[in-house]
């Protein structure tokens, strides 16, 4: 008996993850558009209520997506420790951002940056663990590294509200691009496994 997932299980998991990635990219597109619209009319250092709601929702959306990720890969042999850690990080970040919003937007962006660094590091770890089972994880490694670097630039934010919102929107847009690329890579790989070459299926 072995703990390794069968090819059919891996194919099913890859399709589930790719679908989740596309939903995440779609959510990011809506979020980015909303934030850009708010950024164009932002004034002062205090964000609008809607802007504050969007900032809190973003890490919470990552929590929800991670829960579905765990469900999609529940047959995987490795324990989902990075996913559980990400759920804790996202939940904590949402609370921290909400509290920071009572001060000003720079404080909220700093809290967002701490979460981006943590989430990016956990994404790096998860992608590294998945490299043997799923293709295209190097894209998630790049995305995780980008999240860490972007998060560092958010720490101690001293720019305007308008610029801050625009930078956060760019961060989310960049992540959405990597999710789309990885989703299509996984779907292509799944189709390749499901449709083997004639040479592989032809018997003597």
pLDDT digits (tens, 9 = 90+) for 85-136: 999 999 999 999 999 998 888 899 999 999 999 999 999 999 988 887 777 7
Q: What is the structure's pLDDT at 18?
A: 86
Query: How buried is 66 (Cβ within 10 angstroms: 0-12 exposed, 13-18 middle, 19+ buried)?
Result: buried
- The verdict on pTM exceeding 0.75 is yes
Is residue 170 predicted with pLDDT exceeding 70?
yes
Confidence at 77, pLDDT banded by 50, 70, 90: low
Place of tokens 């000003």: 104
Is residue 46 predicted with pLDDT exceeding 70?
no
Q: What is the structure's pLDDT at 4?
A: 47
Confidence at 78, pLDDT banded by 50, 70, 90: low
* 58 or 184, higher pLDDT: 58
* 134 or 197, higher pLDDT: 134
Weakest-pLDDT range from 57-71, 73-87, 168-182: 73-87
What proportion of the chain, given as a percentage, has pLDDT over 90? Answer: 47
What proportion of the chain, given as a percentage, has pLDDT over 70? Answer: 81
What is the overall mean pLDDT for the chain?
83
* 181 or 16, higher pLDDT: 181
Q: Average pLDDT, stretch 19-32?
A: 93
Q: For CA atoms 18, 117, 82, 124, give the dihedral sign.
A: positive
Conformational region of residue 46, where left means phi above 0, alpha means psi within -120 to 50, and beta covers everything else:
beta
Q: With contact defined as beta carbons under 8 Å apart, do 114 and 96 qualify?
A: yes
Give the whole-angstrom CA distance, residue 41 versus residue 124.
35
Give the whole-angstrom CA distance, residue 127 versus residue 179.
12
- Tokens standing for 114? 């701490």
Q: Average pLDDT, stretch 70-82?
A: 76
């Amino acid at each position: 008996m072995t703990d390794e997932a069968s090819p059919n299980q891996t194919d099913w998991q890859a399709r589930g993850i790719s679908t989740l990635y596309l939903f995440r990219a779609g959510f990011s597109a809506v979020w980015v558009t909303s934030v850009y619209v708010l950024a164009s009319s932002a004034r002062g250092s205090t964000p609008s209520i809607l802007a504050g709601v969007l900032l809190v929702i973003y890490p919470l959306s990552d929590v929800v997506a991670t829960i579905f990720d765990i469900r999609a890969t529940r047959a995987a042999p490795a324990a989902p420790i990075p996913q559980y850690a990400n759920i804790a990080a996202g939940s904590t970040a949402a609370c921290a951002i909400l509290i920071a919003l009572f001060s000003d937007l720079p404080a909220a962006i700093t809290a967002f940056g701490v979460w981006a660094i943590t989430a990016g590091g956990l994404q790096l770890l998860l992608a590294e663990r998945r490299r043997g089972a799923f293709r295209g994880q190097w894209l998630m490694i790049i995305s995780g590294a980008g999240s860490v670097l972007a998060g560092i630039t958010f720490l101690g934010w001293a720019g305007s509200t308008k610029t801050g919102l625009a930078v956060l929107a760019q961060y989310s847009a960049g992540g959405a691009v990597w999710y789309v690329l990885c989703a299509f890579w996984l779907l292509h790989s799944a189709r390749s496994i499901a449709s083997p070459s004639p040479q592989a299926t032809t018997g003597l």
